[in-house]
Amino acid sequence: MDADHDLELTGRETCYDGFFRLDRFHLRHRRFDGSWTPVLDREVVLRRPAVAVLPYDPDLDRVVLLEQFRPAAYAAGRPAWMTEIPAGLVEFGEALPAVAAREVKEETGLAVEALEPVAEFMPSPGGFAEVVTLFVGRVDASNAGGIFGVDAEHEDIRSFTMDAAEALALMAVPGRIDNAIALIAFQWLALNREALRRRWRSSGRQSPGHGS
pLDDT digits (tens, 9 = 90+) for 102-113: 999 999 999 999
When pLDDT is cut at 50, 70 and 90, the band that residue 16 belongs to is very high
Share of the chain above pLDDT 90, in %: 83
Q: What is the mean pLDDT of residues 150-167?
A: 92
Instruction: Judge contact between 54 and 136, C-beta under 8 A.
Output: yes
Q: Where are the alpha helices (DSSP H) in 59-134?
A: 71-75, 96-108
Instruction: Judge contact between 5 and 36, C-beta under 8 A.
Output: no
What is the topology classification, in CATH, of domain 50-203?
Nucleoside Triphosphate Pyrophosphohydrolase (3.90.79)
Q: How far is CA 144 from CA 3, 62, 92, 111, 160, in A?
A: 47, 10, 30, 11, 7
Q: Is the model more confident about 159 or about 19?
A: 159
Q: In the chain, where are the structural domains located?
A: 3-46, 50-203
Q: What is the mean pLDDT of the chain?
A: 93
Could you list the active site residues?
153
Q: What is the pLDDT of residue 206?
A: 52
Q: What is the mean pLDDT of residues 4-8?
A: 93
Q: What is the pLDDT of residue 207?
A: 46
Q: What is the pLDDT of residue 204?
A: 67
The strand pairing partners of 68, in sequence order, are 82
Q: pTM for the full model?
A: 0.89
pLDDT digits (tens, 9 = 90+) for 48-95: 999 999 999 999 999 999 999 999 999 999 999 999 999 999 998 999
pLDDT digits (tens, 9 = 90+) for 168-209: 999 999 888 999 999 999 999 999 999 999 999 887 655 444
Burial class (CB in 10 A: 0-12, 13-18, 19+), 160: middle
Instruction: Judge contact between 65 and 23, C-beta under 8 A.
Output: no
